[in-house]
Amino acid sequence: MKSKTDQLLDELVKLHPKYIDLSLGRLKLLLKKLGNPQDHLPKTIHIAGTNGKGSVQSFIKNILMNNGYKCDAYISPHLSRFNERIILNNKEVSTKKLYETLKFVKNVNKNKSITFFEITTAAAFILFKKSKSDFLILETGLGGRLDATNIVPKKICSILTPISFDHEEFLGKTIKKIANEKLGIVKNCDFVIVGKQNKEIKDHIQKKLNKFENKYFYGKEFQVTKSFKNKFEIKIDRKKYFYTRPSLNGKHQEENASISIYFAKIMKNMGYNLNTNKINAAIKKTVWPGRLEMINYKNKKIILDGSHNIDGAEKLNEFLKTKNIKPIVLFGMLNNKKASLFLDKIKKRVSKVLAITIPNEKNSFKAEQINEICNLHSIKCAQLNNINDALKYFRSNQQEIYLITGSLYLVGKIRKKLL
């Protein structure tokens, strides 16, 4: 039986006929009724991009917390339960506080049409206003320009992580159109940091940024230059620095860490007390579940990776190649994603695919559809009925390494059964 909080969340989904309908109009009206809590938030860091938002958020949060600052964060989607989305002073919001706030906002809204993300963001703003923390890290839900988080009037910093193809049905069919949507968060802030971008849009982004005045823009001024066993080298403003390598798996996490390090450097120059040793310690201890996360299950190694777009597939393939492993892959994906291209990117590093329909996700590819795609790419495939069948397969098969990928929803549903 569902908890009353989950039942309430189900009610909120039904307030609008579409799960995603990008607009700020509905949210503005609701926030006005709520006293405009978005005008009274902690000092805000806003992050948009296709991949890496969560990791960068986690690195920055740990850096600030490690240096004695109180920090809130807004994250989506969640892996196991909705509470994960709202972090108040480094702790998930309590179920009691979450339920009471969601109920209050629902009553104020009076069943007016509003999307799930918009109304839950309104509730989050109320909680962040009350938290009295020093900083708030806001991760966009989708895009940037019309994302619910972009209603915040003033920010310290806007950050763009790597931009690539994803959600084209909402953000545009070209990489430049997608970049323009992400660039929508670049306003009313003291400085902007742009992470490493593809050559295709690097100059485009720079031209867009050059149109803004009285702001500081960074992006070319920092880059990862070398990697070693326990540390990596960053070139910052033509000087070389060494930092502890992240515990997070994947070469791309060094790039994500470099964004947070450069953020810390700018903040330090602005007078904030940030110690280099504490920054190093924060990077080392940062964890981000479901992103190339390795866990042990019944003497088997399971890699959990919620990658679901082509850039994510490329990073996943690079990781598997570096580790020289060919796991059996449990694969499920939402049907608005490019499953064929994804599997094509990783097929040389896969020994077999176990196709699964993501449970309780009506927009999931069916297992038989994934099987057909695997046949097209000459990938050995077997269909499974459910997650319990997958767990039985892991336990009974001699293979020692498995990978679960294609969707954060799939990773979240199976992760809690593995731990």
**The pLDDT value given to residue 207:** 86
Looking at the structure, do residues 365 and 240 belong to the same domain, yes or no? no
Looking at the structure, do residues 336 and 266 belong to the same domain, yes or no? no
| Residue that terminates a domain, selected from 242, 267, 285 | 285
Looking at the structure, do residues 176 and 277 belong to the same domain, yes or no? yes
**The pLDDT value given to residue 213:** 62
Read off the pTM.
0.94
**The pLDDT value given to residue 221:** 67
Going through 348-400 in order, the beta strands assigned E by DSSP cover: 352-355, 381-383
Residue 218: pLDDT above 80?
A: no
Q: What is the mean pLDDT of residues 198-223?
A: 78
Q: What is the mean pLDDT of residues 373-386?
A: 96
**The pLDDT value given to residue 217:** 67
Looking at the structure, do residues 114 and 198 belong to the same domain, yes or no? yes
Q: What is the mean pLDDT of residues 102-130?
A: 98
CATH number at residue 302: 3.90.190.20
pLDDT class of 11 with cuts at 50, 70, 90 = very high
In 3D, which of 371, 380, 313 has the Cα closest to residue 342?
313
pLDDT class of 353 with cuts at 50, 70, 90 = very high
Using DSSP, state whether 138 is helix, strand or coil. strand
Q: Which residues pair with 44 in a beta bridge?
A: 136
Total number of domains constituting the chain: 2
Looking at the structure, do residues 143 and 192 belong to the same domain, yes or no? yes
Q: What is the mean pLDDT of residues 110-133?
A: 97
| Residue that terminates a domain, selected from 285, 308, 331 | 285
- Burial label, 11 (beta-carbon count in 10 A; 0-12, 13-18, 19+): middle
- Burial label, 377 (beta-carbon count in 10 A; 0-12, 13-18, 19+): middle
pLDDT class of 1 with cuts at 50, 70, 90 = confident
Looking at the structure, do residues 232 and 121 belong to the same domain, yes or no? yes
Please give the radius of gyration of the chain, using alpha carbons only, rounded to the nearest integer. 21
Structure tokens at 378: 């000459």
Residue 335: pLDDT above 60?
A: yes
Looking at the structure, do residues 122 and 35 belong to the same domain, yes or no? yes
pLDDT single digits (tens) 237-257: 888 999 999 999 999 999 999
| Residue that terminates a domain, selected from 285, 310, 340 | 285
Cβ contacts of 280 within 8 Å, gap of 6 or more: 243, 244
Q: What is the mean pLDDT of residues 318-333?
A: 96
pLDDT class of 333 with cuts at 50, 70, 90 = very high
DSSP class of residue 131 equals: H
**The pLDDT value given to residue 212:** 74
pLDDT class of 208 with cuts at 50, 70, 90 = confident
pLDDT class of 19 with cuts at 50, 70, 90 = confident
Backbone angles phi, psi at 139, to 5 degrees: -100, 125
| Per-residue burial over 127-157, b = 16 or more CB atoms within 10 Å of its CB, e = otherwise | bbbebebbbbbbbbbbbbbbbbbbbbeebbb
**The pLDDT value given to residue 222:** 81
- Establish how many alpha carbons lie within 13 A of residue 316's alpha carbon, considering only the half-sphere containing its beta carbon: 34
CATH number at residue 234: 3.40.1190.10
pLDDT single digits (tens) 135-146: 999 999 999 999
Q: What is the mean pLDDT of residues 167-177?
A: 91
Q: What is the mean pLDDT of residues 78-86?
A: 95
Looking at the structure, do residues 85 and 223 belong to the same domain, yes or no? yes
Residue 214: pLDDT above 60?
A: no
Q: What is the mean pLDDT of residues 180-195?
A: 93
Looking at the structure, do residues 248 and 303 belong to the same domain, yes or no? no
Looking at the structure, do residues 266 and 325 belong to the same domain, yes or no? no
Question: Which range marks the domain in which residue 314 is found?
Answer: 293-418
Looking at the structure, do residues 372 and 333 belong to the same domain, yes or no? yes
Looking at the structure, do residues 153 and 252 belong to the same domain, yes or no? yes
Q: What is the mean pLDDT of residues 353-366?
A: 95
